[in-house]
Structure 1
Amino acid sequence: MAFVSATAAASPSATLFLSVPYAARGAAGACACVQPRRPLSVPLRAAKGPSSAPMGLESKVKSKKKKGGVNLSGALDVEIREAQEYLDSDQQEPVPDNFPFEINDEKGMSVVILKRDFKDEKVEVIVSMPNLEGGPEFDDEDGEGEGDGEGAGKDEEAEEDDGSAGDSSISLKVVVSKDSGPKLEFTCTAFREEITIDDMLIVEKSDDDGEEKFPYEGPEFTELPVNVQKGLFKYLEQRGITLSATNYMHDYMVTKQAQEYIRWMTKLKDFVQQ
């Protein structure tokens, strides 16, 4: 079982970058956990986007070969013990003094919901589990799979050349609403040194009359004038979507991911032992 510790500090001077929206716009209520489109910067540099499933919770058991087969209860015990050891060594940072949100963290859920009031608006942020890329892999204890030394060196060199190696992110769905009228919904990706807007929707209040409607959803985010895009980044920043806040939530979600992994593994162990 491998866990990736998240300890990088937020960069106060880092800026928000513009990115390309999803290839096909989803439903207005799509969760922020959905993997965002591959971003393409306009007019700044391209923002890195997650390209794989979370890698922070890889099973160590799969790399072990045991004579006579695998003991399921023993394998589960190994996973639970190693995850707990990670948690015991991981010191959760206290909530920053300037953190503007109330954190709603329900056990057993894959997301955390942040809430705050801003003037006459309500701001809600759904934060997904982290997408951890470049996580360490466990060595094969039998010595298999090590491969040729020269090939391994080339792989390491390729990873160094790839700017995305070792990067990680969390997906956010930011909903800004007032007492009446439409809502603004943003789908964002928060990396350690930048935040990208992947999509933006104006969600009208539903009449629930049963009639299917096809409202005009506006242009794609990157088709908006550049000054409008920059203004929307500033709009989110004023409502609390800053690097200091998202970096804290990244670390928070890494810890939650380990906690939920232990809880899930324990449920599985209890079930198979009954």
Structure 2
Amino acid sequence: MITIELKKLHVGFPFKMEDKPGSKIVTLTRDYQGESVVVEVHMTNLVTGDKGDDEESEEEEEEEEEHEDKPEKPKQSNVPLLVTLSKKTGPSLEFRCTAFPDKIVIKDMWVTFPDDPSKDSGFWMKC
């Protein structure tokens, strides 16, 4: 099924797609105006209606406990993304996002320094 969908996307799709068999991560790469764009797509949170969709991670359970007074939202598919924008030299930008059917939410972003990783921790922002 994925192969058929990939063939449909191929015409005009600007990213090179790498799908490793047995892995739940698809990597999209491309160069855009002198910058490297790498998107890691984690295929882990798809709601299919199967019984397993009702199981929650510990993180989701903790979030629910924090917001018990809020009305419960229906579950919907979401796809975690890690987007990295980098140039040949200098710092890189990384965005941790969640893609929903109707929007993409940036959870946090940070600046990384490939030449000096000791600087990485000081440039982080929760969105």
Is 2:95 the partner of 1:189? no
Larger relative contact order, structure 1 or 2 (CA cutoff 8 Å, min sep 6): 1
Which residue among 110, 115, 124 is the counterpart of 2:38? 124
Q: Indicate the structure (1 or 2) with the bigger Cα radius of gyration.
A: 1
Aligned residues: 107
2:20 is matched with 106
Q: Deviations over 1:214-235 (max 9, x none)?
A: 74224433xxxxxxxxxxxxxx
After the TM superposition, which segments of 4 or more aligned residues of structure 1 sit over 6 Å from their partners? none
Structure 2 contact 111–123 (Cα < 8 Å) conserved: yes
Instruction: Assess, with a 3 A threshold, how the Cα gap between structure 1 residues 214 and 113 changes in structure 2: closer, same or farther.
Output: closer
Three-state SS of the structure 2 residue aligned to 1:185 is strand
Q: Which has the higher helix share?
A: 1
- Map 1:247-266; keep pairs closer than 5 Å: none
Identity within the alignment, %: 36
Q: Deviations over 1:132-184 (max 9, x none)?
A: 2362339xxxxxxxxxxxxxxxxxxxxxx85423x101111000010100100
- Map 1:155-174; keep pairs closer than 5 Å: 162-165=72-75, 167-174=76-83
Query: What is the CA RMSD across the aligned residues, in angstroms?
Result: 2.9
1:109, distance to aligned residue in structure 2 (A): 2.2
Structure 1 contact 130–168 (Cα < 8 Å) conserved: no
Instruction: Assess, with a 3 A threshold, how the Cα gap between structure 1 residues 110 and 118 changes in structure 2: closer, same or farther.
Output: same
Q: Which has the higher strand share?
A: 2
Which residue among 107, 110, 115 is the counterpart of 1:201? 110
Q: Distance in 2 between matches of 1:134 and 1:107?
A: 21
Instruction: Assess, with a 3 A threshold, how the Cα gap between structure 1 residues 215 and 129 changes in structure 2: closer, same or farther.
Output: closer
Instruction: Assess, with a 3 A threshold, how the Cα gap between structure 1 residues 162 and 91 changes in structure 2: closer, same or farther.
Output: farther
TM-score by structure 1 length? 0.34
Q: Distance in 2 between matches of 1:206 and 1:111?
A: 26
Q: Which runs of 5+ in 1 are unaligned?
A: 1-86, 139-160, 222-274
Q: Which runs of 5+ in 2 are unaligned?
A: 53-70
TM-score by structure 2 length? 0.69
Letter in 2 for 1:204: F
